[in-house]
Amino acid sequence: MGDVTDALLRWYDEQGRDLPWRRTRDPYAVLVSEVMLQQTQVARVIPRYEAWLERWPDAAALAAASAADVLREWVGLGYNRRALRLRDACVAVARNGWPATASGLRALPGVGPYTAAAVASFAFDEQVAAVDVNVARVSGRLGAEPAALVPEGRAASFNHAMMDLGATVCTARRPRCEACPLARLCPSAGAVAAPLPRGAARQRFEDTDRFARGRIVAALAAGEAVPAGLGEERTERALAGLARDGLVVRDGDAVRLP
């Protein structure tokens, strides 16, 4: 698969995205970026990432922060539990230091296989494939295992390149095969069908419990009361889940950030 990786890396050298977390090998900065990027668009993450590092520049600083402050800073990024797991990971790092391998990083709270491989690759130059949804899609269309494609000594560039290709060219619904640097080497080129539209209407995000959870945390972070208008049953479900996940504390009728 050398021709594939050579073409991919040439394309990345010319057209790779210039993102702030790609300008550092600090494992803390890389971890922050990877956690923020989980199910959140790059454009939304960039300013929040930069503000976060300005406030908490290293793992020890974040480990010393209160849970409430961490949640306030996270408001708007979604999936608030990620913020507390990131803080928990930094508590472990402040106590024991940074594991330098993907297997060691897996022991940190909230760090799964992809995040561990990404930090190991980008911060510690471990030669491993970091397989997120984009990488899995690209490699699947190429008919190859990601690990078999990693070029010796260039795992970090390879992982960034695969992520960029999947995010901007080899997309899930409308792949741009005509613009792909791997088209002549890809058995799926020109033959990838977009998924059929779902028959049933999707639930509006504003009607979900996740929306209610986000509204509640945002209100508490701003010093406001639990917002009205979410519906009694949905509010109770959201509060019960938030309390269970350690994102709020309930004391009788009073609710606050931890």
Decide which of 185, 220, 241 is a domain's last residue.
185
In a domain, 244, yes or no: yes
Q: Could you give the number of structural domains in the chain?
A: 2
How does pLDDT run across 171-224, given as a tens digit for each residue?
Answer: 998 899 999 999 999 999 988 655 545 544 566 778 888 888 888 888 888 888
- Are residues 143 and 95 part of one domain? yes
Q: Is the pLDDT of residue 140 over 50?
A: yes
In a domain, 196, yes or no: no
CATH of residue 45: 1.10.340.30
- Are residues 213 and 114 part of one domain? no
Domain that holds residue 159: 2-185
Instruction: Determine what percent of the chain is predicted with pLDDT higher than 90.
Output: 68
Mean pLDDT value of segment 33-51: 94
In a domain, 195, yes or no: no
How does pLDDT run across 214-231, given as a tens digit for each residue?
Answer: 888 888 888 888 888 888
- Are residues 116 and 49 part of one domain? yes
Mean pLDDT value of segment 126-149: 94
Catalytic pick from 34, 54, 178, 206?
A: 34
- Are residues 140 and 19 part of one domain? yes
Mean pLDDT of the chain: 91
- 232 is an active site residue: no
On whether the pTM is more than 0.85, the answer is no
- Are residues 132 and 24 part of one domain? yes
Say what the pLDDT of residue 124 is: 97
Amino acid identity of residue 211, one-letter, is F
- Are residues 143 and 226 part of one domain? no
- Are residues 173 and 138 part of one domain? yes
In a domain, 192, yes or no: no
- Are residues 216 and 180 part of one domain? no
Say what the pLDDT of residue 214 is: 86
- Are residues 248 and 210 part of one domain? yes
- Are residues 9 and 86 part of one domain? yes
- Are residues 180 and 243 part of one domain? no
In a domain, 72, yes or no: yes
